[in-house]
Chain A
Amino acid sequence: MKPKISRRTALSAVAKVAIGAGVAVAAAGGVAAYFATRPPQVIEKVVTSVVERPVEKTVVTTVAGVPTTVLTTVKETETVVLSPTEERKKGITVILPKHEMDIIGWWETKTAEFEEKTGIPVTLVRMPWEYVADKVLAAMSAGSSEYDVIELDNAWVAKFAEAGWASPLEDYPGAKDMMEGHLPGLIQKFSYKGHLAGITWNNDSRYFMYNKAMLEAAGIKAPPKSWDEFVDYCKALKGVSWVDSTGQKRILEYPVVAAWQESQIGLNEYAFFTYTFGGEFFDENMKCVINRGGAVEALEFMVDLINKGYVAPGYATNDYEMQLSAFLAGDAAFMYQAWGGVYGYSLDPRLSKIVNQVEFAPLVPYKPGAAPWSLTLPEAMAIPKFSKNKEYAWEYIKFMASKEVNKEMCLKIGALPIWKDLYEDPDVLKKYPYFKLITEQNKYLRGHPDLVWYDEWATKLASEFSAAITQKKSPKEALDTVYSWVKENHPDFA
């Protein structure tokens, strides 16, 4: 017998599925919107809780008006009320992206050391930046006290400070020392309207690296100082025969491997070109000037590099991982915005075919009349205002950003120091002599513009940037669209 489903039953089932799916999509939006718009549930008073734990004798005393439980020798179990201080000792939750150079789990080891030293348990959440961003932004929007130490990206400073999501840190004990000892650019980047919103944990400044063996094979003795020179070198390098570190003879097809993906990655690259062409996204009065001068020239230059055949295919969707792979495989001569760790990777024969062939340029190429700006994309630790364990969160930040720990981070995983002194530290210089070379570039470091609506701006600009890169629009046309959007949606900035 053929199993038969009645028309009514089938229709009903299908309708339920369709309605259910519709409801689920709308409900997800509803949950997000509810948490986003609900007034922030700031709990100033630390909630005490009742726990069972072993005690022999309990003495209740008062410290600064707070009832405190003091324990003596352990013999039996008794129910006690935790004091606010003890409540905090239940631990903190830290959410930070994984450092791309930390392939040995150094941060986790150091966190364990912090726990051992202080007795403060730490739940460490580490995942790629994009996932951290989603979690942190959602938690802050919802006023959640889930996290005690959060990632503060360089592009979020204005937004987090204006929203009051990041607690001011300048008055915590030891903060002044850090403000004086850290690289001024990093302190400046994470300060907003006189308040310090975050303490840098990852000095992600970018430098110009090149493959010396390739340049020598093309008869070039020094890295390019200007963009005109860069183009001349690309011409000379295309098709050059050279030998990689494994002894293999190679032909270089494309001098440049670009990561011009329609995302923050592409925008990082575009910002670098814009600054080195003397362009700006916003002028000193925070008026949008993206559709004129250096910003347009920079984008035209990038498109020109593609059209001249100097940029390897895949540029429109490549991310940093792909760009790095190509550079280490010997498929590119330049990595014009390389992070510090690239040098370390290049020395590892398991990862690289260009061992001992990579050099730092003292400065990035730039257009005469402009300045050799390189990008700095540091990441900081911040304490959300919703945290119930701010003191312990600060203890963690103070420990992880201390000079000793930062020096160890530099020596163990090759991360760029955040303390000024460490660039002259004999141990550091012995291991990384090239740090001397980047001293000059460290004077010319810039980040993205401080905008409260940065994420909106980034989405819009990324789309138009990608349209220009894929030549669906001319650079001028694409940037005019961005300007028009700013004018319409944020008229104060136009």
Chain B
Amino acid sequence: MMMGIKKIYPYFLTFPCLFFLFSVIFFPLAFSFSSSFYNIFLIRRETFFIGFDNYIQLFRDPYFLYSLWVTAYFVAVTVSIEVSLGLGIALLLNEKFKGRSIVRGLILVPWALPSVVNGVMWKWIYHAQYGAFNHLLFQLGFISKYIDWLGDPFTALNMLVLADIWKETAFPAILTLAGLQAIPYGLYECAMIDGANAWQRFRYITLPLLKQILAVVIIFKTIWSFETFDLVYLVTRGGPSAGTRTLVYYNYLITFRQSLFGLGSAFSWIIAIMILFFAVPYIRRFMLR
């Protein structure tokens, strides 16, 4: 009798957690996967099994392919610049100088800014007639007339990249700084005694010891950049000419605006697979060597 209770007891204790996980993760996951094979007509409350048609339809949709390109560009540029810049800032903040603590605090300000405030702020900063960006560049003599920064699809995309870099660079900087502080100073002293110059110390001590943390930063940043929605929604609404329509924003339009839930589910799965696809090379590059 006691043995029986002992056997059941662990299951009894873990049941609430398992139930929760099943309800909010596994069931929706399975349902979303199955929905992605159906054409769901909300109005008529009908569903039709269509196999892989939703997936095929997406890859035949020129706007989907364009969104893919927009997202790839956005992710590649923001992640590479934010991580490099973050590393540079971290190296700087790791040095001793007057007011270092204040600067370390200030670096977090853009990151701490609510996304909505950030989006609205950049919308006005880039405004063609009243924007601070035009005014600043004009006053400094870099431009001879005001430019419509959001008027051209590719320029608008780069402006979003810039806004994202401004807000998000703090994250890699702070994480990398934490990594730098964990490196014993003695290693640098030994290297200096051996005649290593600054570049060699960075190349052979700092970088290898930061590998793990950089891998985590890059993976997080890649995933977050992939998921960028608020900036697009608030500044450009994916325009002009779909030039800033990221995959996640397009998925929102399809799923929630057009109420095409079957297609939206397929879209979600493609995004999920892509995120995994991007994670694997990073893992191999940084973890398996």
Contact = CB atoms under 8 A, between A and B. Distances in A.
B48 to A, nearest CB: 11
A22 B257 contact: no
A20 B101 CA distance: 35
Contacts of A317: 150-151, 156, 235-237, 239-240
* CB-CB nearest 8 A-B residue pairs: A262-B239, A30-B32, A29-B268, A30-B28, A18-B279, A314-B128, A313-B128, A313-B148
Contact of B276 (A10, A19, A39, A138): A19
Interface in A5-56: 5, 7, 10-11, 13-15, 17-19, 21-23, 25-34, 36-37, 39-40
12 contacts: A14-B283, A15-B279, A18-B275, A27-B28, A29-B35, A29-B269, A30-B33, A33-B262, A33-B265, A262-B238, A316-B148, A469-B240
A28 B24 CA distance: 9
A10 B287 contact: yes
Nearest to A457: B258
Interface stretch (B77-85, B102-110, B208-216): B208-216
Of the four ranges (under 10, 10 to 19, 20 to 34, 35 or more), the interface on chain B belongs to 35 or more
Contacts of B212: 5, 10
A304 interface: no
A470 interface: yes
Interface string B196-223: 0000000000000100100110011001
Contacts of B32: 26-27, 29-31, 33-34
Given A14-B215, A15-B283, 15 more contacts: A10-B287, A14-B279, A17-B279, A18-B280, A26-B29, A32-B256, A32-B265, A37-B38, A37-B261, A261-B240, A262-B241, A316-B151, A316-B240, A459-B257, A469-B241
B42 A36 contact: yes
The A contact surface, by secondary structure, is helix
B204 to A, nearest CB: 14
Interface in A121-139: 133-134, 137-138
Given A29-B267, A159-B43, A141 B33 contact: no
Contacts of B259: 36, 137, 141, 455
A350 B260 CA distance: 45
A387 interface: no
B9 interface: no
B189 interface: no
A460 B212 CA distance: 44
Contacts of A326: 129
Given A14-B287, A30-B35, A36-B42, A322 B127 contact: yes
A39 B31 contact: no
A455 B257 contact: yes
A243 to B, nearest CB: 20
B242 A26 contact: no
Contacts of A453: 258
A261 B216 CA distance: 38
B272 interface: yes
Given A14-B219, A463-B241, A470-B153, A27 B24 contact: yes
Interface string B270-289: 01110110011011000110
Contact of B237 (A13, A26, A263, A456): A263
Contacts of A470: 151-153, 240-241, 243
A36 B40 contact: yes
Interface in A307-354: 312-317, 322, 325-326, 331
Interface residues of A, number: 65
Given A263-B237, A317-B240, A134 B262 contact: no
A266 B92 CA distance: 46
A331 B130 CA distance: 11
A494 interface: no
Q: Counting chain B CB atoms within 10 Å of each CB, which of A2, A22, A40, A456 scores highest?
A: A22
Interface in B117-172: 127-130, 146-148, 150-153, 156
Contacts of A463: 63, 239, 241-242
Interface in A278-309: none
A34 B271 contact: no
B30 interface: yes
Contacts of B147: 313
Contacts of B220: 17
B16 interface: no
Nearest to B40: A37
Contacts of A331: 129
B45 interface: yes
Q: Counting chain B CB atoms within 10 Å of each CB, which of A32, A162, A455 scores highest?
A: A32
A138 B261 CA distance: 11
A453 B288 CA distance: 50
B27 interface: yes
A413 interface: no
Interface string A460-492: 001100110110100000000000000000000
A467 B241 contact: yes
Contacts of A163: 42-43, 45
Nearest to A2: B184
A466 B239 contact: yes
Contact of A32 (B255, B258, B273): B255
B37 to A, nearest CB: 11
A39 B40 CA distance: 12
B183 interface: yes
A328 to B, nearest CB: 12
B182 interface: yes
B25 interface: yes
B264 interface: yes
B287 A11 contact: yes
B253 interface: yes
B107 to A, nearest CB: 23
A1 interface: yes
A36 B146 contact: no
Interface in B74-95: none
Nearest to B287: A11
Contacts of B183: 2
Contact of B29 (A23, A137, A313, A316): A23
B256 A134 contact: yes
Contacts of B242: 262, 463, 466-467
A3 interface: yes
A39 B223 CA distance: 34
A178 interface: no
